[in-house]
């Protein structure tokens, strides 16, 4: 327990330092007197960021991509993983081989860009969701979960008159909450942190993601349409501004985890089969 506590502190303490600096004034940050508690408490760092209207536009886009994109990810991954896990599917091995190839060889950037351009997907939010709908790694993880679903349970559902779609909806998915929650968090984090794809495929300011906008603030100190006075600029430190950016970019996705945590510790099929 002491060892695990020390390991946990190595991860928590830097986060506390980031939060403390984001809530400290410029004098304390520049003098390096901030450790784990704010010195000269102030919210001006967040005020300077959140007053920029383009932040809220980027936040709306990132939330849309995270929510809608994760639903597309889970639906597409489960739709392919389930048939590839059933022995009655005759072409599962060739299909698995082609999926495995995508884990080894990736499409070059320029051909991929030209493909998406010909599909008229550039400068749309769909370009950040549809091409990455299925992760090969997550597919194999979900397939492994489906493989361990007892065939007796599925056969009994068929005997009771369930078709394939009804069986998936009423039997398979309710038993798959642990893996769906795990894959949902992995997909949601990837969608929330999406940066390079948004940088390559989107140049409309109304469609930029939060990560792209926050990087612009950190690198160029470009606050867009924010009405920032010179007094306010003197009250904040560039380092404090960066820490506030980190908190803004990290906090929303952290709030999702408590709602899905319980599914990680549940049994895979508790009570579904009685022997």
Condensed to tens digits (0 to 9), the pLDDT of residues 212-248 reads: 888 887 776 555 544 444 445 556 677 888 888 888 8
CA–CA separation, 160 and 151 (whole Å): 14
Quick one: pLDDT at residue 56? 87
Domain spans of the chain, in order of start: 2-42, 48-264
Yes or no: say if 187 and 135 are a contact pair by the CB < 8 Å rule: yes
Give the 3-state secondary structure of residue 144: helix
Give the 3-state secondary structure of residue 5: helix
Q: Mind listing the pLDDT tens digit for each residue in 61-106?
A: 999 999 999 999 999 999 999 888 888 888 888 888 998 898 888 8
Residue 180 pLDDT level (bands cut at 50, 70, 90): confident
**Percent of the chain scoring above 90 in pLDDT:** 18
**Is it true that domain 48-264 has CATH number 3.40.50.720?**
no
From the list 254, 250, 249, 192, the residue with the least C-alpha distance to 215 is 249
From the list 210, 212, 220, 218, the residue with the least C-alpha distance to 242 is 218
CA–CA separation, 141 and 136 (whole Å): 9
Quick one: pLDDT at residue 70? 93
Q: Mind listing the pLDDT tens digit for each residue in 15-66?
A: 899 999 888 888 888 888 888 888 888 888 888 877 878 888 888 999 999 9
Q: Mind listing the pLDDT tens digit for each residue in 116-141?
A: 999 999 999 999 999 989 999 889 88
């Amino acid at each position: 327990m002491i060892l695990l506590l020390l390991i946990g502190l190595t991860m928590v303490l830097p986060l506390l330092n980031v939060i403390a600096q984001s809530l400290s004034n410029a004098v304390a940050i520049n003098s390096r007197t901030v450790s784990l508690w704010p010195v000269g408490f102030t919210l001006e760092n967040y005020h300077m960021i959140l007053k920029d209207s383009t932040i809220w536009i980027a936040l709306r886009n990132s939330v849309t991509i995270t929510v809608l994109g994760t639903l597309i990810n889970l639906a597409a991954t489960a739709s392919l993983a389930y048939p590839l896990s059933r022995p009655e599917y005759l072409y599962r091995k060739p299909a698995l081989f082609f999926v495995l190839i995508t884990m080894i060889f990736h499409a070059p950037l320029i051909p991929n860009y030209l493909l998406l351009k010909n599909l008229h997907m550039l400068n749309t939010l769909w370009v950040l969701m549809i091409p990455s709908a299925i992760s090969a790694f997550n597919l194999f993880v979900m397939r492994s979960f489906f493989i361990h679903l007892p065939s007796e349970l599925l056969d009994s559902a068929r005997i009771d008159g369930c078709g394939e779609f009804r069986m998936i909806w009423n039997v398979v998915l309710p038993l798959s909450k642990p893996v769906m929650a795990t894959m949902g968090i992995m997909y949601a984090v990837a969608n929330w942190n999406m940066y390079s794809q948004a940088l390559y495929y989107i140049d409309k300011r109304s469609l930029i993601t939060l990560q792209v906008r926050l990087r612009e603030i950190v690198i160029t100190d470009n606050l867009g349409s924010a009405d920032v006075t010179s007094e306010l600029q003197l009250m904040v430190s560039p380092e404090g501004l960066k820490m506030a950016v980190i908190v803004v970019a990290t906090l929303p996705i952290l709030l999702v985890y408590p709602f899905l945590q319980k599914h990680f510790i549940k049994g895979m099929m508790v009570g579904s089969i009685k022997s």
